[in-house]
Structure 1
Amino acid sequence: MVIIYLDFDGVLHHYDVYLDQRNRAVLRGMGTLFEYASRLQSILTPYPDIKIVLSTSWVRVKGFRYAAERLPEGLRSRIIGATWHSKMAEDDELLFWWLNHSTRYQQIVRDVRHRMPEDWLALDDDAEGWPAEAKRHLITCNPILGLSEPDVRMALEHRLARMSKNR
């Protein structure tokens, strides 16, 4: 199994998203929410076996189902889980670590150890805490441009092609 760990903010749209008074996600930056999701869907089309694990704070803040339903069906059908699970909130130590000390890399690696995929890749705008030896698993997006940036899309396409050949 090959997994893409998918962040939303800074990847599928501008990074600056907040919750308004009615608990609705609102984009403060330019563009629209999930405007680059169809680009990701197109890039993944030649690779029907690639699965998605949500590594976005949307799951913790709004819930897994809500986050998954924001994606087009072509991506949603690939989702097999998330790095955050609601049961984590019941473990005070784990919750404290998750909210205060863990990097996105640590959150993803925790999930990789659990799922044990054949290979994996993270799409994220946050490269903080990624050790040099793990960066081969990361495609870093510009937080404003996300997947609209041609160089990022090309890097993703090349990485997926290499991963496909190695299987």
Structure 2
Amino acid sequence: MILFLDFDGVLHPDSAYLVKGRPTLKAAGELFMWAPLLTDLLADFPAVQIVLSTSWARELSFSRACRWLPDGLRARVIGATWHSSMKHQADGFSLSQTWWDTANRYQQIKRFADRAGLVNWVAVDDQPEGWSADDRDKLVHTNGDTGLSDSRVLASLAARLGGKP
């Protein structure tokens, strides 16, 4: 099972901004304050692997985005919907804007899932816009202000991962 994981609005409130190149939360709490809830939930699902579906991978780089995660989550990360090669044309020149920049979160995830031949996946995200009715059951939608701190969201994620609701 693959879990596509957004950061903002999921692991902390959707109020994170880059300030002098460093992510800063401009809301009550701290960055990744709800990550332990996901770590605890995933303890019951050892086969779940994570693909980052967060803009942090583009803005900071995949490796820097990963370093923000606690060890228990970082060890499960196998990739991201964004890869730095996406910003280069075939001739090696950099693009100022890429397909990924204009795609909604669902399109980014779906493209990754299709290319990897994934069938068994779920996404946890606070951006429900653009999701196909065919894959809507794969989205665990969070409120950007409460993320995974909402027990109903955690129960929904557990159910989608194969646990009890």
Normalising by structure 2, report the TM-score.
Answer: 0.92
Instruction: Give the C-alpha shift of residue 95 in structure 1.
Output: 4.0
Within a 5 Å distance, the mapping from 1:6-155 to structure 2 comes to: 6-20=5-19, 22-91=20-89, 95-100=97-102, 102-155=103-156
Q: Distance in 2 between matches of 1:129 and 1:54?
A: 19
Instruction: Give the C-alpha shift of residue 116 in structure 1.
Output: 1.7
Unaligned runs of 5+ in 1: none
1:51 is matched by which residue type in structure 2? Answer: Q
Identity among equivalent pairs (%): 43
Unaligned runs of 5+ in 2: none
User: What is the alpha-carbon root mean square deviation over aligned residues?
Assistant: 1.7
Q: Distance in 2 between matches of 1:94 and 1:112?
A: 25
Q: Distance in 1 between matches of 2:5 and 2:35?
A: 11
Normalising by structure 1, report the TM-score.
Answer: 0.90
8 Å contact kept, 1:36–1:147: yes
Instruction: Give the C-alpha shift of residue 98 in structure 1.
Output: 1.7
- Note the alpha carbon deviations across 1:108-142, whole angstroms, 9 max, x for none: 01100122234000010000000222111100000
8 Å contact kept, 1:88–1:95: no
2:34 is matched by which residue type in structure 1? Answer: Y
Moved beyond 6 Å, runs of 4+: none
The residue number in structure 1 matching 2:162 is 161
Secondary structure of 2:134's aligned partner: helix
Secondary structure of 1:133's aligned partner: coil
